[in-house]
Amino acid sequence: MSGTAERQVEKQAEYVIDVRDIRKNFGGMRVVDGLSLQVARGEICGFLGANGSGKTTTIRILCGLLAPDGGSGTCLGLDILRESQSIRRQVGYMTQRFSLYEDLTVRENLELVAGLYEMDQPREAVGAIIGRMDLRARADQLAGHLSGGWKQRLALTACVLHRPALLLLDEPTAGVDARARREFWDLIHDMAGGGLTVLVSTHYMDEAERCARVVYLAGGRIVVQGSAEDLIRDVGLTTYDATGPTVEAAVPLLRAAPGVEAATMFGRVLHVAGMDRAALEAAIRARGAGLTWHEVPPRLDDVFIHLLARESRDGGAEAPR
Ligand SMILES: Nc1ncnc2c1ncn2[C@@H]1O[C@H](COP(=O)(O)OP(=O)(O)OP(=O)(O)O)[C@@H](O)[C@H]1O
């Protein structure tokens, strides 16, 4: 093997996604703005950001469905500009919209997908995956009669049927109940354990916490990235909890105080957060007297609320859906 080819294989082994300076405009609006991203083999990478921050557009570029206006790189070792058709055939791509046939059974849908991928021995492949994804009891049920959680599981099954090495999942569990989401993520982790690489966009904090790395986008750029612990540490918020009989009355007072970025009730507990420790503690003393306060470690949702608030202050974030 030539030195260049060896380096190619090494690089491919290291990063399944390796793109630089990706840019995309829609009608004069810059939606992806110089995004560079590397995702290692077997990594589960979470894609987060406000509505409209460019997650779906980036995912569509990575899976070869959309051509970028600028930038370069590879996905599965294939050039995103010149080999998009091969990328499309080799990745598993799942959107939040259920795109299978509701009037076909689970098995029929999967056989159809196996046919589209021109798989050898499609029946055997479908039988095997039905077992592996625990769909046996529902194999002969119409897809349209499945609950939301089972539909998502079927959609995931359809996109791993051709054994892709990379899964690109765009809000795959939107609107699915907590148990089905947890089971869906158990499957993702099982598959990543087998070497599958996953890039998944989500608005759910519990899902972000299940990613080895979280990449946070604002205005089509990566603003922060790292493990949940890295992000919590790097952002550097101070957070306190309070309890007491007058806790609810303190909420509007604290929200209006300098140094308090967020004051939110969780059940009977008031949770406050701020970037300036001295100002936050002064606000607690002045406006939270009579309550019992204790400092608590910041959580990932504190970090994202902070980033979203910063973005709307600076302009650019869309209103929540
Ligand atoms: N085909 C298109 N034509 C014009 N504008 C588009 C197109 N696709 C996306 N956009 C715009 O690009 C911006 C980014 O959209 P994108 O769907 O990538 O964001 P997102 O981060 O996935 O948002 P969400 O969390 O709401 O799914 C939005 O303002 C959107 O309206």
Helix (H) or strand (E) holding 319: none
> Of 213, 231, 249, which residue constitutes the final position of a domain?
231
The pLDDT assigned to 173 comes to 87
The pLDDT assigned to 315 comes to 64
Q: What is the 3-state secondary structure (H, E, C) of 154-223?
A: HHHHHHHCCCCCEEEEECCCCCCCHHHHHHHHHHHHHHHHCCCEEEEECCCHHHHCCCCEEEEEECCEEE
User: Of all protein residues, whose CA lies closest to atom 7 belonging to ligand 1?
Assistant: 26
The pLDDT assigned to 13 comes to 55
Contact at 8 Å (CB) between 36 and 19?
yes
Classify residue 215: in a domain, yes or no. Answer: yes
Instruction: Note whether 177 and 266 are same-domain residues.
Output: no
Classify residue 250: in a domain, yes or no. Answer: yes
β-pair partners for 68: none
Classify residue 305: in a domain, yes or no. Answer: no
- CATH classification of the domain holding 8: 3.40.50.300
Classify residue 209: in a domain, yes or no. Answer: yes
Beta carbons within 10 angstroms of residue 313's beta carbon: 9
Instruction: Note whether 250 and 196 are same-domain residues.
Output: no
User: Of all protein residues, whose CA lies closest to atom 18 belonging to ligand 1?
Assistant: 54
Instruction: Note whether 83 and 40 are same-domain residues.
Output: yes
Instruction: Note whether 56 and 175 are same-domain residues.
Output: yes
Ligand 1 mean position, distance from CA 317 (Å): 12
The pLDDT assigned to 166 comes to 95
Instruction: Note whether 227 and 242 are same-domain residues.
Output: no
Q: Which two tokens stand for residue 292?
A: 């019992």
User: Of all protein residues, whose CA lies closest to atom 26 belonging to ligand 1?
Assistant: 51
Pocket of ligand 1 (CB under 6 A): 26-27, 31, 49, 51-57
Amino acid of residue 218: A
The pLDDT assigned to 184 comes to 87
| 10 CB-near residues (< 8 Å, 6+ apart) | none
Domain that includes residue 111, residue range: 3-231
Nearest ligand 1 atom to alpha carbon 58? 18
Ligand 1 mean position, distance from CA 31 (Å): 7
Ligand 1 mean position, distance from CA 229 (Å): 29
The pLDDT assigned to 309 comes to 85
Classify residue 316: in a domain, yes or no. Answer: no
Closest C-alpha to 235, from 319, 171, 309: 309
The pLDDT assigned to 142 comes to 96
Q: What's the domain count of the chain?
A: 2
Instruction: Note whether 87 and 214 are same-domain residues.
Output: yes
Instruction: Note whether 257 and 220 are same-domain residues.
Output: no
Closest C-alpha to 102, from 71, 46, 62, 144: 144
Task: For residue 254, give Cα distances in angstroms to 174, 279, 287, 295, 316.
Answer: 33, 11, 6, 16, 26
Ligand 1 mean position, distance from CA 51 (Å): 8
Nearest ligand 1 atom to alpha carbon 318? 29
User: Of all protein residues, whose CA lies closest to atom 16 belonging to ligand 1?
Assistant: 54
The complex scores an ipTM of 0.96
The pLDDT assigned to 170 comes to 94
- CATH classification of the domain holding 267: 3.30.70.100
The pLDDT assigned to 269 comes to 96
The pLDDT assigned to 132 comes to 85
Per-residue pLDDT of the chain (321 residues; tens, 9 = 90+): 445 544 444 444 589 999 999 999 999 999 999 999 999 999 999 999 999 999 999 999 999 999 999 999 999 999 999 999 999 989 999 987 778 899 999 999 999 999 988 888 889 999 999 998 889 999 999 999 998 889 988 999 999 999 899 999 999 888 788 888 888 899 899 889 889 999 999 999 889 999 999 999 999 999 999 999 999 999 999 999 999 998 999 999 999 999 999 999 999 999 999 999 999 999 999 999 999 999 999 999 999 999 988 877 776 444 333
> Of 214, 231, 248, which residue constitutes the final position of a domain?
231
Classify residue 312: in a domain, yes or no. Answer: no
Instruction: Note whether 132 and 266 are same-domain residues.
Output: no
User: Of all protein residues, whose CA lies closest to atom 5 belonging to ligand 1?
Assistant: 26
The pLDDT assigned to 87 comes to 94
Instruction: Note whether 220 and 247 are same-domain residues.
Output: no
Rounded CA-CA distance 158/156 in Å is 5
